[in-house]
Amino acid sequence: MAKSVVKPKVVVVMPAYNAEKTVARTVADIPPGSVDEIILVDDCSKDQTVSVAEKLGLKVIRHTDNRGYGGNQKPATRRPWMPERISWS
């Protein structure tokens, strides 16, 4: 009997701050079919970053205060839906 192969889930976590003008282009640059989910972590943007991300169908986590680049990344890695291994680039 053949073993079934379980494909690992690929999740992109995008830290963002005032990125309304670049979110759609960034998502479009991700090769179709290469990821299972895209999650935008908004660092209390003052523009329409969250609205644009939601219109694109992204899962959005929104901070109520600005935590800076490093502070915006850390909470996203502590979520129960995160895979065992992650890579930031």
Domain enclosing residue 17, as ranges: 11-78
Q: In angstroms, rounded to a whole number, what is the distance separating the alpha carbons of residues 62 and 30?
A: 22
Quickly state the pLDDT bin for 9 (edges 50, 70, 90).
Answer: confident
Is 46 within a domain?
yes
0.85 cut: is pTM over it? no
Question: How does pLDDT run across 43-89, given as a tens digit for each residue?
Answer: 999 999 999 999 999 999 898 888 876 676 666 666 555 555 555 44
Nearest to 58 by CA among 42, 74, 34, 82: 42
Is 29 within a domain?
yes
Q: In angstroms, rounded to a whole number, what is the distance separating the alpha carbons of residues 48 and 88?
A: 24
Question: 68: Cβ–Cβ under 8 A, 6 or more apart, which residues?
Answer: 43
Is 49 within a domain?
yes
Structurally, the chain folds into a number of domains equal to: 1
Kindly state the tokens that stand for 1: 């009997």
Q: In angstroms, rounded to a whole number, what is the distance separating the alpha carbons of residues 21 and 23?
A: 6
